Amino acid sequence: MLRPGAIAIISTLVLTPIVREICIHRRLYDSVGLLKIHSRPIPRLGGLAITLGIVAGLGFAGRLSQMQGWPFFAGLILIWVAGFSDDIWRLSPTLRLVAQIAAAILLWFGGWRLPWLKPDLVNLAVVCFMALFFINAFNFLDGADGLCAGVAGIIAAAYLLMPGFALSSFGSAVAWSLLGVSAGFLVSNFPPARIFMGDSGSTVLGFGVAFLAFDFYRANAMTLRGLALAFPLLMSALPLLDGILAVLRRLHEKRSPLNGDRRHFYDLLLEIGWSPRKVTLTVYVVTAAMCVIAWMVLKSDFSQALLLSATSVGALLVAALRLGSLRSSEKPRPQLGTARYG
């Protein structure tokens, strides 16, 4: 089962410099601007290397031929095409959401559902909402070097290392591939980044993490009860909470939730003087800690699980509010752009 991860990391390490050179040759940069944190144009299509790395990891491991996996691959391509189109031509936010919903519907029809939730229409609606939530939270997260790839890699590793609970064999292969591409891409994306993943990378990683959540529910449907159902949400609590606060902040300002700003938690940490590397490494530590807490919730009774969940998420919320995550943005962005704008 290590094969998908090994192939994914090797493929990403080989492909990322090639994609970077293509971007330079074609002048496909994420330019500097009012709402950017980088001071020079950076190649922005790293999502191509990430997506090809995932496909290579699963393909050379013999997973492409598995009929059960076609909804994942079809959804992955939909998400990537929408993100790539936005990176190049600024695709309409509505079309991007349609692609994301279509990808979630494909997973649902493929059997990746919430096993305990009835009726089917409600189940489908919740699956679509959760998929959109994960995908766009990871898109928002990709506003500073190394964050999105690192967080996705840590979460994928947590699924693989978790004792007592398991993913399906296909889900495990996806987790290994996500871990591999995340590690491989970080070689070029850890601050100071030499290439950005763009929406075609951040949304693909978000889709992959959402898929792992649904596969976890599917594989452990007979044993999960109570707050154990929150396990995937707790592991991704940092990006998900930041996404919720971003939506609330923008709605309060009477702006579209898709209109970016620079009030994410990482922007606020940079604003108070933290270095990009300190921000990135701190986010890694917090994400790893949330994965450990999520595992503890799985192993605890209801009262202990409730205390752990409320304390950990409450601490993140208090920290975000003290930083100013709900304060009004002074310089709103007029339209949705690439992942760097978040």
pLDDT in tens, 257-314: 877 788 899 999 999 999 999 999 999 999 999 999 999 999 899 999 999 999 999 9
Reading the block at residue 4, the tokens are 């998908």
The gap from C-alpha 123 to its chain's centroid, in whole angstroms, comes to: 22
**Three-state SS for 65?**
coil
Q: What is the DSSP letter of 224?
A: -
Three-state SS sequence of 15-47: HHHHHHHHHHHHCCEECCCCCCCCCCCEECCCH
Least confidently predicted of 100-114, 133-147, 327-341: 327-341
Q: What is the DSSP letter of 230?
A: G
What pLDDT does residue 337 have? Answer: 36
Alpha-carbon gap, residue 255 to 248, rounded angstroms:
10
34 pLDDT exceeds 80? Answer: no
Alpha-carbon gap, residue 108 to 123, rounded angstroms:
9
Q: What is the DSSP letter of 329?
A: P
Alpha-carbon gap, residue 81 to 30, rounded angstroms:
18
Beta-carbon count within 10 A of 335 CB? 12
Statement: the pTM of the whole predicted model exceeds 0.75: yes
In the chain, the amino acid numbered 24 is I
Alpha-carbon gap, residue 66 to 24, rounded angstroms:
37
Reading the block at residue 59, the tokens are 């393909």
Alpha-carbon gap, residue 259 to 204, rounded angstroms:
20
List beta partners, residue 43: 29
Residue 114 near residue 126 (C-beta atoms within 8 A): yes
What pLDDT does residue 124 have? Answer: 97
Beta-carbon count within 10 A of 306 CB? 15
What pLDDT does residue 339 have? Answer: 38
Q: pLDDT tens digits for 199-253?
A: 999 999 999 999 999 999 999 988 887 888 999 999 999 999 999 999 999 999 8
Reading the block at residue 288, the tokens are 């790893």
Alpha-carbon gap, residue 320 to 306, rounded angstroms:
21
The more confident residue out of 217 and 341 is 217
Residue 131 near residue 103 (C-beta atoms within 8 A): yes
- CA torsion 123-169-58-148 (nearest 10°) is 60
What pLDDT does residue 290 have? Answer: 98
**168 dihedral zone (left: phi>0; alpha: psi -120 to 50; beta):** beta
Element containing residue 266 per DSSP (H, E) = helix 265-271
Q: pLDDT tens digits for 55-93?
A: 999 988 776 666 678 999 999 999 999 999 999 998 999
Reading the block at residue 268, the tokens are 């606020």
The gap from C-alpha 97 to its chain's centroid, in whole angstroms, comes to: 15
Alpha-carbon gap, residue 255 to 194, rounded angstroms:
32
